[in-house]
Chain A
Amino acid sequence: MTIGAFTFPPIDELFVWKEVLLEDTPVAVNKTAILMLVSAAVVTLLFVGGSRKTRLVPGRLQNLLEVTYEFVDRGIARDVIGPDGTRFTPFLGSLFLFILFTNVWSVIPFIQFPPTSRFGVPLFLALLTWVIYWYVGFRHHGIRYLTGHIFPAGVPKPLYVLVTPIELVQLLIVRPFSLAVRLLANMMAGHILLAALAMLTAYALTNAPLIALGPFVLNIGVMAFEILVGFLQAYIFTLLTAVYIGDSLHPAH
């Protein structure tokens, strides 16, 4: 679609992965991979550097890291999984921070591209969660984990015809797929919205500068909203991971 001299990128652009470094080799690197590596490095450096010299009275950085850790430990792991959820805090914490730092790229000037809006990234994270909750379930309950889920107690026998396939599909497909799609769609929608508003501003500037104020102000507002969405999606992804792990540890039925 073209507005004046500006071309709105075709929707296919979202599915094209341009290689930036080491082109045409099996280890070719694109923008998505670079941004992911940078966010992983930032999180790692922040935590390794911040926890090297821990003090009883924490400084600014240590305070921030402690608050973050406690947020995941108390607010997610212990609240959702239970007292034995603490041992999952390292996984949940890394998941939360990695998603948060990759999401935030969507509002950083000159980059403005969240790697989580490419399906491979959230899909991998969701599959990781999937493997972990199955592993935890089988580790703690053996085959009863599966049978307990697909044959819930207290359901009339004939209804198993309906309930069993639904529960099985839910455990196998719907959970990881909805986790991945939720993150992908939220970040992609925000990315498209920001791009569309920037396009409108640029187009209006050349034709009717006064009108450009509207989309410009809206763009800034949406950017602030995107920071909130990025945080919220990281939180919800981690929360749901905790819910699934908790469900594997202590099945309700």
Chain B
Amino acid sequence: MHALVLAATEAGELRDGLAAIGAGLVYGLAAIGPGIGIGMVVSNAIQAMARQPEMAGPVRVTMFLGIAFTEALALFGFVLFFLAQG
């Protein structure tokens, strides 16, 4: 059965299809971790701001820093998506 399917595809067709699936998965998988991470960063920052509104300024700056570092991983995945296409 598999041999039949393989025989019916043109040369390189399977490779291209797998590459497309891979490129699609790259970003989706890369977004899972940072998604959870950014959620944790922001939820704790909001909690801190709600408990000590006078510290909202410094907390907000630190929150953006935390988001930026966490988000970098997802963005590497986004760039890999373009690389995986080529």
CB pair B64–A185 under 8 Å, yes or no, is no
On whether A75 and B61 interact (CB within 8 A), knowing A11-B82, A240-B68, the answer reads: yes
* Complex Cα spacing A243 to B66, Å: 12
Whether a CB of chain A sits under 8 angstroms from the CB of B65 is: yes
CB pair A79–B85 under 8 Å, yes or no, is no
Contact check: which of A11, A181, A189, A232 meets B72 at CB < 8 Å? A181
Instruction: Tell me which residues across on chain A come within 8 A of B75, comparing CB atoms.
Output: 178, 181-182, 185-186
On whether A178 and B72 interact (CB within 8 A), knowing A236-B64, A239-B61, A239-B64, the answer reads: yes
Number of A-B contacts (CB under 8 A): 38
**Total chain B interface residues with beta-carbon distance under 8 A:** 15
On whether A189 and B78 interact (CB within 8 A), knowing A11-B85, A75-B61, A239-B61, the answer reads: yes
Q: Given known contacts A178-B76, A182-B72, A184-B79, what 19 new A-B pairs fall within 8 Å (CB)?
A: A11-B82, A11-B85, A14-B82, A75-B61, A178-B72, A178-B75, A181-B79, A182-B68, A182-B71, A182-B75, A185-B75, A185-B78, A185-B79, A232-B64, A235-B64, A236-B68, A239-B65, A239-B68, A240-B65
Listed from nearest, the 8 A-B pairs whose CB atoms lie closest are A185-B75, A178-B72, A185-B78, A236-B68, A181-B75, A182-B75, A181-B79, A236-B64
Which chain A residues have a beta carbon within 8 Å of chain B's beta carbons? 11, 14, 75, 79-80, 178, 181-182, 184-186, 188-189, 232, 235-236, 239-240, 243
A-B contact pairs, 20 of them (CB 8 A): A75-B61, A80-B61, A178-B75, A178-B76, A181-B72, A181-B75, A181-B76, A181-B79, A182-B68, A182-B72, A182-B75, A185-B79, A232-B64, A235-B64, A236-B64, A236-B68, A239-B61, A239-B64, A239-B65, A240-B68
